[in-house]
Amino acid sequence: MTRVLVFGAGGVGCVYAYILHKAGVSVTAVCRTNYTVVKDKGITIRSKIFGRQHFQPTAVRTVSEALEHGPFDYILVCSKAFPGTAEMIKDAVTPRQTAIVLAQNGIGVEEDYAKLYPDNPIISGVVYLPVTQVEPGIVEHGPLERFEIGTYPPNAPSAAKQSCQTISDLYKAGGGSAPVFDDVQPQKWIKVAVNVAWNPTTALTMCDDANYLRSSPRAEKMIRKVMREVASIATAAGYPDVITDEVIERDIQRPISRLETGGKEPSMLTDVREGRAMEVEAIVGNTLRIGEKHGVVTPYLEILYTLAKGRSYAIAPDGEWKPIARHG
């Protein structure tokens, strides 16, 4: 039986744990605030796709505690992408055996894992999963579920490619969707362009996406300019014609379509409201640094990064980030 350790049992981790559980996988989940509920009562998912489901993975508080349930074929990292997260799974990584699957936001997040675990398959993913853990062990999931995956680097050995295909097959067996890309980085650039534009902007303005667009005739123009700056960085990094005008227009139309029905609250805005640390470095900082490395001038991105860092400092001035489970 395939053994998977889910690191970060927030909304995303709970739904992915359910999909793998349904596929017949032995699932162990590292839980934080929801540990007692998950251990005693399991996880309940109210999903637009899967319906109402209940299951009970093996719940543990720490990676060290999980070792008695290993060794693990896969570690699925669903926590927020904070500096130092890669080191937190090390006790459960079996060299040359455990494949590390990253269900995390941002760009360039794979590098820390590749440095620490050079002999292990690294599988990077792009998560499309509207999900919220409304209370410990209770998850609400919307009408979308797609996990786009591929090896890191794209030219990884055949064994890593096979590990990637196997986890994709397990998702399919569990009723999920995890299409494999020969190179998943273009998909990551598209997602990070959206996140860079909307996440810090809404967190700083305290507006959801629709209310932000209502706020000023310049609001939409600024989002477009930020996304075009990310497009320039992607081009310089070797991925031209990925973040096209069509991609930008398609993204802009989503919040425009919600102007009458109500906006969406990106994760950074939720983090600010709840006093949690934001993924500023993984999403905005890494993007900015890649641009600087290639000599790309990005004034809007630089301003967003600087202000978002200030907002983060106001939330946690000691700078001591601790990885927490993502809610979507």
pLDDT in tens, 87-110: 999 999 999 999 999 999 999 999
Task: Return all residues near 114 (Cβ < 8 A) that are at least 6 apart.
Answer: 122, 152, 153
> CA 164, CA 100: separation in Å to the nearest integer?
10
Asked whether residue 19 falls in the same domain as residue 135, the answer is: yes
Structural domain containing residue 140? 3-182
Asked whether residue 177 falls in the same domain as residue 211, the answer is: no
Residue 312: predicted pLDDT: 83
Going by DSSP bridges, is the β-strand pair 51-55/43-47 parallel, antiparallel, or unpaired? Answer: antiparallel
Mean pLDDT in residue range 125-144: 96
Does pTM top 0.75 for this prediction? yes
User: Which of 145, 166, 182 represents a domain boundary (last residue)?
Assistant: 182
320 within a domain of the structure (yes/no): no
Residue 321: predicted pLDDT: 44
Mean pLDDT in residue range 166-193: 98
User: Which of 182, 212, 243 represents a domain boundary (last residue)?
Assistant: 182
Residue 105: predicted pLDDT: 96
> CA 43, CA 38: separation in Å to the nearest integer?
6
User: Which of 182, 210, 243 represents a domain boundary (last residue)?
Assistant: 182
The identity of residue 96, as a single letter, is R
Residue 320: predicted pLDDT: 47
Asked whether residue 133 falls in the same domain as residue 208, the answer is: no
Angle (CA) 279-282-284 rounded to 5° is: 85
> CA 214, CA 211: separation in Å to the nearest integer?
5
